């Protein structure tokens, strides 16, 4: 029952019933990325008369987090490119890292040395630092 109510009344958990219905009626599956996000567009790439271009949208597998959309799909969603990444034969360079979502606010967030969240212990000053005082 809780799952059903969550599905009906929240937009940040996967999709709403309205989005599900719109996708079933007007959507065409385009592809899926490595994080499980599913991408759709209007059937046949039809132009929406109110927008003047085709609608494109993403359905997240769980919590809706926009930073979990990889760069190639982001460009396609925002009409920067017309070809979705599944239709391209792109191989990343060895120095390119795989895409990661923004981890701010999660337990996996980056905390530098001396941060309150990592215990708050800074390394001792080594003597190469001289504090500024007014008038010097």
DSSP assignments along 67-108, one per residue: GGS-HHHHHHHTTS-SS-GGGS-----TTPPPP----TTSTT
pLDDT at residue 45 in the model: 86
Q: What is the mean pLDDT of residues 50-71?
A: 89
| Overall pTM > 0.85 | no
């Amino acid at each position: 029952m809780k799952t059903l109510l969550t599905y009906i009344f929240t937009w940040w958990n996967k999709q709403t019933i309205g989005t599900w219905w719109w996708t079933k009626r007007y959507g065409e599956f385009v592809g899926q990325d490595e994080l499980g996000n599913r991408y759709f567009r209007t059937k046949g790439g039809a132009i929406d008369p109110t927008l003047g271009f085709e609608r494109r949208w993403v359905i997240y597998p769980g919590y809706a987090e926009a930073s979990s959309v990889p760069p190639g799909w982001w460009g396609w969603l925002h009409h920067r490119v017309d070809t979705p990444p599944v239709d391209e034969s792109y191989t990343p360079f060895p120095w390119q890292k795989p895409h990661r979502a923004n981890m701010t606010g999660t337990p996996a967030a980056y905390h530098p040395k001396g941060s309150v969240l990592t215990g708050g212990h800074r390394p001792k000053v080594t003597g190469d630092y001289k504090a500024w005082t007014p008038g010097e």
